[in-house]
């Protein structure tokens, strides 16, 4: 055999070096992230690089299993869905602790490394070709450099952001992550917020906490998932051949989107997975059972993030299948039965374990239709409410979309866009989103209308991107109907809407970047001293309770507790969820003590109202009872009653810890004489 030429040997050596570099660099980043948990910015950014590689590895596994091809954005989204499905099984078994979740991440990285080592061409070469093409077009290169810089600033802000919401994150969402990492489960029967969330978002948040800190609370949702959303959008733009102006505006709108989130609940994770769900269905050359199973898996992943995403995700898949049906109906349904079965199997693979975990926690997997441990005496709809009032409420919500200001003005484009593809995915997404939005408004009619759009952010962003791109795409040929397109006037409307979005959100966007700057400066300075002092106080509180004992808590920051040492029952919103027949309310302190004892709950820890940092201040809730909307009046009544009851119990029973406003009492000990 002739020997290889020096040039050939050099090319192979360069190829293996590029493959090795693509593996070693994220591996080193992972080591840096693990080795420096106190480093919020540097360590967090390094861990984000490693997580991105691990999720891409999971995407490779899912794509191979489904025999599907996809660009980087789709593989990352599919990887997220696959990771959530596997993690859900471990969650249902109650073993998804830090070690197990680390194993899930590690498996993803091994799959990533295998793909990099065995792929036909090193990824670095493909990236190099793209960069070379950009160098040949200086204007395009300048535009993409500017967009990439904006995205990197957003990601840096996500890494550095530590603005936990004391109303939500401090009392429940961050403690959920701590419980998961310490104990491996999310069994929270007294948690109102656990009732309305399957746990997928907590699993995603815990991916950042595996490295040993809960400081990077937005790293995955606002960091990794925003990157996935951008990658999915760019992939869709390329697939549809969108012109440079509209493509640039779409990416710019996403990059400059104001931060409308108020906590660490699903935000960009919903946008990424909804967009991936649409692309998984719409870009398939033909609908096969494997493709529909993959779509079902992604839809299930969406459902695990927010319970109000269920009707949109499931409705989209169902409508695609229904709209495929042609006359005669019976033979058409018979021909598509394997597609229906594939979607069902994929959905069950991704969601069934989370349903089991929810049942273990709150005895329900479909709240509010099945209440579980929720207090049945609390009304879920306004006390006095007419159809006219609900219509006015709905209109007020629809007319104030925030922060996706142009999602409603873009909808008229559907009147001139005819989707001729099998299943009509664009129409299916619009109808499913509309139905889900109406149901959400009906279910949240007790809430403030100004805040409802944040619950719809995921599918609102996906719908905006899809309408803009599909309406601007090049028309298909006769044998390939292609995407729905709009006439020239419609494209002018697309550009006008995108520019209007940038103008209307200008002040909010500027405020977002001021916050990012403050977050980076604050994270760089640290603040570990204060955190260590708070952690020490919580350790002393917990040390007063015997190891292994159950501890009921109503504290400002229960994430500082060790959920492996004690079984912790967190009263994030007292009175709204509890063991049957329900935690007594408005019946006095002794009834509460008897209820806890009857369920083997001996130790109670709470923060005195005068020293609570935010959520358990009595005066605050009295004010809300008097002036706020009905939902907060109800919450306030139960909150004030619980605060008063716990204060009275501290006077009646022995206190085994009382420091800095935090108290632990022993409800099984004899009542103190004279009290």
Please state, rounded to an integer, the average pLDDT across all residues of the chain. Answer: 91
**Which alpha helices (DSSP H) does 241-267 contain, by range?**
244-255
C-alpha 19/C-alpha 113 separation (Å) is 9
pLDDT of residue 52: 97
Tens digit of each residue's pLDDT (9 = 90 or more) over 51-68: 999 999 999 999 999 999
**Which H helix or E strand runs over 607?**
strand 603-607
Taking 90 as the threshold, does the pLDDT of residue 6 lie above it? Answer: no
Length of the chain: 675
Overall average pLDDT of the 241-253 stretch: 92
Taking 80 as the threshold, does the pLDDT of residue 7 lie above it? Answer: no
pLDDT of residue 419: 83
Residue pair 411/228 in contact by the 8 Å Cβ criterion: no
Choice among 92-101, 357-366, 428-437, 528-537 with the minimum mean pLDDT: 528-537
Closest CA relative to residue 92, chosen from 284, 358, 319, 286: 358
Domain edges within the chain: 30-372+396-515, 529-666
C-alpha 400/C-alpha 451 separation (Å) is 10
- List the strands of the sheet with 603-607, edge to edge: 567-570, 550-554, 603-607, 662-666, 655-659
pTM, entire model: 0.95
Closest CA relative to residue 112, chosen from 202, 217, 30: 30
- Residue bearing the bigger pLDDT, 445 or 521: 521
Taking 70 as the threshold, does the pLDDT of residue 208 lie above it? Answer: yes
Residue identified by tokens 């509309």 is 434
Q: Where residue 226 falls among pLDDT bands split at 50, 70, 90?
A: very high
**End-to-end alpha carbon distance in the chain:** 98
Q: Which residues of 630-665 are buried (b: 16+ CB within 10 A; e: fewer)?
A: bbbbbbbbbbbbbbebbbbbbeebeeebeeebbbbb
C-alpha 582/C-alpha 585 separation (Å) is 9
Q: Where residue 651 falls among pLDDT bands split at 50, 70, 90?
A: very high
Rg (CA), the chain: 26
pLDDT of residue 221: 96
Q: Is the peptide bond before 403 cis (omega within 30 degrees of 0)?
A: yes
Tokens encoding 484: 């729905």
Taking 60 as the threshold, does the pLDDT of residue 479 lie above it? Answer: no
pLDDT of residue 153: 96
Tens digit of each residue's pLDDT (9 = 90 or more) over 263-304: 999 999 999 999 999 999 998 877 899 999 999 999 999 999
How many Cβ atoms sit within 10 Å of the Cβ of residue 280? 27
Tens digit of each residue's pLDDT (9 = 90 or more) over 106-136: 999 999 999 999 988 887 777 877 777 877 7
Taking 80 as the threshold, does the pLDDT of residue 340 lie above it? Answer: yes
Taking 50 as the threshold, does the pLDDT of residue 608 lie above it? Answer: yes
pLDDT of residue 613: 87
C-alpha 271/C-alpha 463 separation (Å) is 9
Taking 50 as the threshold, does the pLDDT of residue 477 lie above it? Answer: no
User: Which stretches does DSSP call E strand in 513-581?
Assistant: 550-554, 567-570
Q: Where residue 528 falls among pLDDT bands split at 50, 70, 90?
A: low
Which residues does 335 contact at the CB level (< 8 Å), separation at least 6?
none
Overall average pLDDT of the 235-240 stretch: 92
Tens digit of each residue's pLDDT (9 = 90 or more) over 375-395: 998 887 777 778 888 888 889
Cα–Cα distances in angstroms (integers) from residue 80 to residues 127, 221, 228, in the given order: 23, 11, 10
How many Cβ atoms sit within 10 Å of the Cβ of residue 412? 12
pLDDT of residue 405: 92
Q: Where residue 530 falls among pLDDT bands split at 50, 70, 90?
A: low
Cα–Cα distances in angstroms (integers) from residue 472 to residues 465, 469, 475, 478, in the given order: 11, 5, 9, 18
């Amino acid at each position: 055999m002739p020997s290889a030429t020096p040039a050939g040997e050099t090319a192979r050596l360069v190829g293996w070096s590029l493959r090795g570099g693509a593996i070693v660099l994220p591996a080193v980043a992972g080591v840096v992230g693990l080795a420096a948990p106190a480093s919020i910015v540097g360590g967090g950014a390094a861990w984000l690089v490693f997580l991105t590689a691990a999720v891409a590895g999971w995407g490779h596994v899912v794509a191979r299993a489904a025999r599907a091809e996809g660009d980087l954005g789709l593989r990352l989204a599919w990887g997220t869905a696959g990771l959530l499905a596997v993690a859900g099984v471990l969650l249902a078994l109650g073993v998804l602790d830090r070690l197990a979740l680390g194993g899930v991440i590690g498996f993803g990285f091994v799959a990533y490394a295998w793909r990099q080592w065995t792929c036909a061409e090193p990824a670095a070469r493909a990236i190099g070709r793209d960069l070379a093409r950009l160098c040949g077009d200086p204007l395009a290169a300048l535009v993409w450099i500017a967009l990439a810089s904006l995205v990197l600033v957003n990601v840096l802000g996500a890494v550095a952001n530590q603005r936990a919401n004391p109303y939500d994150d401090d009392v429940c969402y961050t403690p959920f992550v701590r419980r998961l990492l310490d104990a491996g489960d999310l069994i929270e029967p007294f948690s109102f917020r656990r009732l309305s969330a399957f746990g997928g978002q907590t699993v995603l948040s815990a991916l950042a906490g595996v490295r040993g800190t809960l400081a990077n609370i937005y790293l995955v949702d606002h960091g990794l998932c925003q990157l996935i959303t951008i990658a999915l959008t760019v992939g869709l733009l390329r697939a549809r051949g969108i012109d440079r102006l509209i493509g640039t505006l779409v990416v710019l709108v996403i990059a400059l989107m104001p931060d409308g989130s108020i906590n660490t609940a699903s935000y960009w994770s919903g946008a990424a997975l909804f967009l991936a769900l649409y692309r998984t269905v719409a870009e398939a050359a033909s609908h096969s059972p494997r493709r529909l199973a993959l779509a079902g898996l992604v839809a299930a992943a969406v459902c695990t993030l927010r319970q109000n995403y269920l009707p949109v995700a499931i409705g989209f898949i169902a409508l695609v299948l229904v709209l495929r049906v042609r006359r005669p109906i019976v033979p058409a349904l018979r021909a598509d039965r394997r597609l229906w079965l594939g979607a069902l199997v994929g959905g069950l693979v991704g969601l069934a374990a989370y349903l089991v975990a929810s049942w273990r926690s709150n005895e329900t997997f479909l709240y509010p239709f099945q209440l579980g441990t929720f207090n049945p005496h609390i009304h879920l709809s306004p006390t006095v409410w007419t159809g006219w009032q609900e219509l006015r409420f709905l209109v007020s919500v629809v007319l104030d979309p925030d922060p996706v200001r142009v999602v409603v003005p873009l909808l008229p484009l559907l009147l001139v866009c005819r989707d001729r593809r099998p299943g009509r995915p664009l129409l299916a997404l619009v109808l499913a989103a509309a139905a889900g939005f109406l149901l959400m408004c009906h279910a949240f009619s007790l809430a403030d209308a100004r805040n409802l759009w944040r619950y719809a952010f995921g599918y609102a962003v996906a719908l905006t991107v899809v309408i803009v791109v599909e309406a601007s795409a090049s028309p298909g040929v006769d044998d390939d109907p292609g995407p729905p397109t709009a006439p020239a006037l419609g494209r002018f409307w697309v550009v006008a809407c995108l520019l209007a979005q940038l103008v209307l959100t200008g002040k909010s966007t500027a405020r977002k970047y001021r916050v990012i700057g403050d977050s980076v400066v604050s994270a760089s300075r640290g603040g570990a001293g204060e955190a260590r002092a708070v952690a020490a106080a919580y350790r002393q509180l917990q040390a007063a309770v015997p190891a292994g004992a159950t501890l009921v808590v109503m504290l400002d920051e229960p994430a500082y507790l060790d959920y492996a040492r004690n079984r912790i029952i967190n009263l994030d919103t007292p009175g709204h969820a509890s063991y049957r027949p329900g935690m007594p309310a408005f019946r006095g302190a002794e009834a509460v003590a008897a209820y806890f004892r009857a369920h083997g709950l001996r130790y109670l820890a709470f923060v005195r109202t005068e020293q609570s940092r935010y959520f358990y201040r009595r005066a605050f809730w009295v004010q809300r009872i008097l002036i706020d909307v009905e939902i907060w009046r109800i919450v306030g009544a139960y909150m004030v009653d619980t605060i008063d009851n716990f204060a009275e119990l501290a006077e009646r029973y022995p206190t085994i810890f009382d420091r800095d406003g935090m108290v632990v009492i022993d409800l099984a000990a004899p009542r103190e004489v004279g009290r």
